[in-house]
Structure formats: C-alpha cells, structure tokens
Structure 1
Amino acid sequence: MSKYPKLKEMGVNHPQHIVKYSVNSVDFIDVLRIVYKRPKGSVLPETRTYKFPRVQKTPVGKDGKPASAVVMESDPCLRAAVEELRTILAAREEASTIAELILEELRLLQEDVDLRSNYINDLVGKIKLS
C-alpha cells in the first residue's frame, strides 16, 4: 500500500521528486500543477497538470428547504491530493532543518576539538622547554 494513495491514483509514481505544487482556479475548474526535479537524463516530464471540476452544492436553509444560492466547492480528490503534497513537502523541510542542525553542531564540535588540540599542543611545548 502506498503512503500517498491519492497521488498514486493520479499516476504520481515518484513523490520524492516533487519540489513544489500550485493550485489555481479557471472558471469552474481547479488546476493542480506539480513540479518535479528529475534526475539528469530522465525522459519523465518536469511538470504535470491535473484538472478537477468544482462540485456544485446547494446549501439547506434554516427552514430545511434548499437555499437559492449555489455554492461551488473544490473536489474532494483535489483536497486529498493537496494534503498529501503538503505532507511530502513538510517532511522534506523537516529533514532539511534537521540536516542543517546536525551540520551546525558538527561545525561547533570541530571548533571545540581544534581549540582543545591547540591548548594541548601549547602544554606539550611548555613541557619540552622545561
């Protein structure tokens, strides 16, 4: 079973290649555009576009009768796909942040080791002079 069933259903086989997405509305159609970063030499497209028609709903009034206004809602499939895309990009951002923290800690550790090493070398130099 896929971690991202809605994207899999839409034909997204490599969610790890997704770098960003956008959602726009044109008339009564929502357009989802997914942008990928493909490996060099890949023949797969760098972008894919999906169109979702808006769903027409008639709200019920206080008296239980249908209201005269019509509400257009986004397709549930689109909402599910966008939620999965958010999850993918948030996980990548979190991993990137953790990697940056590890690199910073490593840099600080290297500075500490260098300082201690210099201090010990100075002590050894003083012993030789004695």
Structure 2
Amino acid sequence: MTEFATLKEMGISSFELISRFSLRREHDRDVLKIYYLRPTTSLRPHSQKFTFARPRQAIPGQSRHSQAWQQLSDCSPMLQKALDELKQLTGSSEHALSPKQELLQDLQHLEKVVEAKLAEIREKIERLH
C-alpha cells in the first residue's frame, strides 16, 4: 500500500505542509477542508475544499433502525480513508468540532476573508488617485 494513497488520489502532494483539517455536513454532502502552512505572500492556496456525496441506498423500512442502516448513512469510503490519513499526518485523534466551535471557526474565517477583500479594494481605490 502506498503511503497516503487516498490523499495522493485526491491530488494532494505536499503532505508536510498540512496543518489541520475540518469536516462538516452540508445537506447530503460532506465537506472536507484541508489547511496548509504557507507564508502569507504565497500564491498557492492556504486551504483546499473537497466535497463528498453521502451514499444513498434504499433499504426496507424495518431495517432503518438496524446496524445496516447506520453503516449506510456513514460517510463515503474514500472520505473515511482520507480522514484516517489526515489524522495520521496531523497527529489528530479527533477531527470533529462541536457545532458551536465549528460555527465560531467559520465566522472567524469569514471575518478574515472579508477583511482581506476590503483591504484589497481599498488598495485599488488608492491606486486610482
């Protein structure tokens, strides 16, 4: 087995630059976001987002509370393999944040993105004078 084969298959090659990752659910999809350690002046992205469709399979109604139903509603096998590899890379034993922590993290990220975009627009305005 090739080391980090799933991450390689996803197009990731700079394993040593991965700092952390997050996972959240959006409707019927799982969204994995991988964050990299990069200098602020780097032109390469500081994060990468991957979307995985949640598997949907029809099973009889009486089975919906069984172990089989639980396994069917879990995330995709590729995502599970990627999470295992990311945990190994980052030394993280747990990837999931509480809903409150996740929302606070999303809010902080959004604030940073908006501040950076505002600064960029202000610079462009200044150059016009």
Could you tell which deviates more after superposition, 23-32 or 67-76?
67-76
User: Which residue matches 1:94?
Assistant: none
TM-score, structure 2 length as denominator?
0.58
What is the CA-CA distance between 1:57 and the residue it aligns to? 3.5
Q: 2:61 maps to what in 1?
A: 67
| Bigger fraction of residues in strand | 1
Bigger drift between 31-40 and 77-86 goes to 31-40
What is the CA deviation profile of residues 46-82 of structure 1, one whole-angstrom value per residue up to 9, with x for unaligned ones?
00000000012445xxxxxx33536522110000000
Cα displacement (A) at 1:40: 6.0
Structure 1 residue runs of 5 or longer lacking an equivalent are 60-65, 92-130
Aligned partner of 2:74: which letter?
Answer: E
Structure 2 counterpart of 1:56, which letter? R
1:9 pairs with 2:9: yes
The count of corresponding residues between Structure 1 and Structure 2 is 85
Question: 4+ residue runs of structure 1 moved beyond 4 angstroms?
Answer: none
Question: Aligned to 2:3, what secondary structure does the other structure show?
Answer: coil
1:113-128 equivalent positions in 2, closer than 5 A: none
Higher RCO (CA-CA < 8 Å; seq separation 6+): 2
Q: Percent identity?
A: 29
- Counterpart of 2:61 in 1: which secondary structure? coil
Shift of 1:41: 4.3
Give the gaps of 5 or more residues in structure 2.
93-129
1:27 aligns with: 27
Q: Distance in 2 between matches of 1:13 and 1:39?
A: 18
Distance in 2 between residues matched to 1:58 and 1:73, nearest whole Å:
14
Say if 1:34 and 1:49, in contact at 8 Å, map to a contact too: yes
2:77 maps to 76
